[in-house]
Structure 1
């Protein structure tokens, strides 16, 4: 397929979903192709191109895990060692968990830590140290190693592990040990290093259908290990080449020995009914699509959305970035699926839900939450829907523009008796999850986007 076909599809997708700016980079057959459409901001519009910076949210975790694995390869960190080996001051609400959570469990989201601690510990070099001091407040959703549940806090804690082992600020370690050797000169964390380049801002669609700029650009410094990096599709493809390669730079310098690079992509824990993947490696989500194994990670931050997907056996990679909420997610998914089909002949499609069963659905109705959000399962004559809302107290305490709440998403149960479901309409269309039960069969939780929401 030519670059013209890609450019036409990207432009059509941006128009369909009303996205101000989208940029795409694809590695296929040993070459790289790019397509861009739209502008960086509706208020200060500059053309988006392959070198425009976007905040990539949780794709940042792939840089954090690489820095950790460098320390593992050097014998300075052990995956099976308790985190307290490196951060002895770690305190949690449960002492047993605090003493036994391992580095590896942080990497594959089986630590039992809930999603995050919503706080601002400043922009100084002590931001992560202060963040860790407040982890005593974080709820625990399970004992360490029992189950996977996506935790931003876990990755921010990993950032502190890196600081304690190296004696340097987290961002400096990633810059000097990962970014610089690979020539990723535009990619970074700190605003004063990024604002001299062309960058995209996020947008939010209001109830009237109109877009507005989101004033916040990225999160607090303590959130950098889990979601603070900004990058371009050009450099994301360079990052993908490294992840698909043997751990060396183009000049032959070893950044991470190949065995450790490969270990990150091996399954460590299975995931149930997750759009993100069938299993987790160390950070990476692993998913079989139409007979091929994919390795990927997505991210979102203040109205900007990123996807990075690798197909190792085909030496294929795609990076997609868009800058409007809530439809950046389905726009990115549409582009990734189009690229898989047109460049690899790989079809990625959603399963079909079963017909609405009121008797079975009724026991799912109720409220589920994490620290920042509440999920409410509703039912009417037409079926089930899922209402996602940021908690009022979180909105009241925030100094930044938080995303608007979505209208309820219709969803349906999938075939079988595993309480799995799929969202069928709205900007979360295609997202999958499941309901969990206790030993007596009572519904106790809801999983969405890899996170457990506990029933209230």
Structure 2
């Protein structure tokens, strides 16, 4: 497929989803194809190109995991060792969990730690400060019992990097990964970002007007303590170089065996759009019979998606600077690229007809430490809405992303444990319901995260 075809599709999709600026890159047959459209900001517009910097948010986890694997390959870290071997200062509300969590538990999201809500208070928001406050974080499962996506777990992994190397996380990442991998346009330091061309995130007001998101990198990635889980900033060009790194030999950073191990399943995921399993730092997913690895990220009005097909030496990167439309834009780009370059088709599953009994059974509020998820039914359909807890919005000076309005949701064939969202900004997202021994619905998974059923007032 030609540069022209990709550019036409990207421009058309950006217009359809009303995203101010987008950048896309494809690695196919050993060559790179780039396509960009739109502007960096609606207030201060500059053309987006393949060097324009975007906040990658959770795609950062692939970098942090790679740094840990380098330390593992050098014999400085043991994946199966308890985290306290490297972070002896770790304290959690559950002392047994604090002693048992391993390095691998952090990297494959089986630590049992809730998502991330930790306020480090006054100071520089450092990783040391983050870890010092981790006793306030809830445990949602015993270590190793199940997968649940945890930003806090990756931030704790970053503290391992600091303690083992004796460097700040950012300096350690530069020497362990960024420089040896040749990533000259990838940064954690905002002073480096703001002297280059960068995309501003955008959120939509209630009347539909797009406005630049402020602060630029905010909630939860605004503080240094969140850099390991979501702080990196990069461009399409550098992300394709990152894909080449993981498709290749590791370029002297990682031995081939370590690269291979990162792509192997460590824990299965059920009913998740993100993947069928976690590897180490990667979501593993089979699409139309083809194995893929990848990771996405969502920041304050910015969305990123990286998907790699190792057996075909293929990768696609999509970056967008508006929320929530940036997410479906990226998904459309990935699907189009898979179909047009590899003849690989991905289709959303079809829900079964509405079941009122099941809908009333699951209806209610579910929550994690930062967000509420509301399932509701009027007797004719089931809807799912998700948003940041109001008390968190009220207590913060940051301009946070808007909530996702209730969207129609359907049960998937089977026992009614799995579902798919069929409209809105989260269209296509899948998840499942957790039941206790008595069969009562106690939780719901969305985007790899467990939301537990909120207690009702007696």
* TM superposition score normalised by structure 2: 0.97
What pairs up with 1:24-63 in 2 under 5 angstroms? Answer: 24-63=24-63
What secondary structure is seen at the aligned counterpart in 1 of 2:362? Answer: coil
What pairs up with 1:17-96 in 2 under 5 angstroms? Answer: 17-96=17-96
The equivalent of 1:233 in structure 2 is 236
CA deviations on 1:50-100 (whole Å, 9 max, x unpaired) are 000000000000110011001101111000000000001111111100000
Could you tell me how far 1:387 is from its partner in structure 2? 1.6
Q: How many residues align?
A: 450
What secondary structure is seen at the aligned counterpart in 2 of 1:32? Answer: strand
CA deviations on 1:234-288 (whole Å, 9 max, x unpaired) are 000000000001111xxxxx11111011100000001000000001001200000
The equivalent of 2:390 in structure 1 is 392
What secondary structure is seen at the aligned counterpart in 2 of 1:317? Answer: strand
The equivalent of 2:404 in structure 1 is 406
The equivalent of 1:173 in structure 2 is 172
* TM superposition score normalised by structure 1: 0.97
1:121–1:222 CA contact under 8 A, matched in 2: no
In 2 relative to 1, CA 416–113 (structure 1 residues): closer, same or farther, beyond 3 Å? Answer: same
Match of 1:330 among 328, 333, 347: 328
In 2 relative to 1, CA 449–145 (structure 1 residues): closer, same or farther, beyond 3 Å? Answer: same
What pairs up with 1:155-170 in 2 under 5 angstroms? Answer: 155-170=154-169
The answer to whether structure 1 residue 223 and structure 2 residue 226 are counterparts is: yes
2:358–2:416 CA contact under 8 A, matched in 1: no
What secondary structure is seen at the aligned counterpart in 2 of 1:363? Answer: helix
Could you tell me how far 1:47 is from its partner in structure 2? 0.1
The equivalent of 2:249 in structure 1 is 246
Whole-angstrom CA distance in 1 between matches of 2:301 and 2:123:
22
Q: CA RMSD in A?
A: 1.0
What secondary structure is seen at the aligned counterpart in 2 of 1:376? Answer: strand
The equivalent of 1:203 in structure 2 is 202
What secondary structure is seen at the aligned counterpart in 1 of 2:185? Answer: coil
Which runs of 5 or more structure 2 residues have no equivalent in the other structure? none
What pairs up with 1:90-105 in 2 under 5 angstroms? Answer: 90-105=90-105
What secondary structure is seen at the aligned counterpart in 2 of 1:408? Answer: strand
1:121–1:131 CA contact under 8 A, matched in 2: no
The equivalent of 2:291 in structure 1 is 293
1:372–1:391 CA contact under 8 A, matched in 2: yes
CA deviations on 1:77-134 (whole Å, 9 max, x unpaired) are 000000000001111111100000000000000000000123245674x700010000
Whole-angstrom CA distance in 1 between matches of 2:140 and 2:12:
42
1:304–1:325 CA contact under 8 A, matched in 2: yes
Could you tell me how far 1:147 is from its partner in structure 2? 0.2
2:410–2:422 CA contact under 8 A, matched in 1: yes
1:110–1:147 CA contact under 8 A, matched in 2: yes
What pairs up with 1:295-334 in 2 under 5 angstroms? Answer: 295-334=293-332
Which runs of 5 or more structure 1 residues have no equivalent in the other structure? 249-253
1:123–1:220 CA contact under 8 A, matched in 2: no
CA deviations on 1:17-36 (whole Å, 9 max, x unpaired) are 00000100100011000000
The equivalent of 2:373 in structure 1 is 375
Whole-angstrom CA distance in 1 between matches of 2:416 and 2:154:
30
Could you tell me how far 1:167 is from its partner in structure 2? 0.5
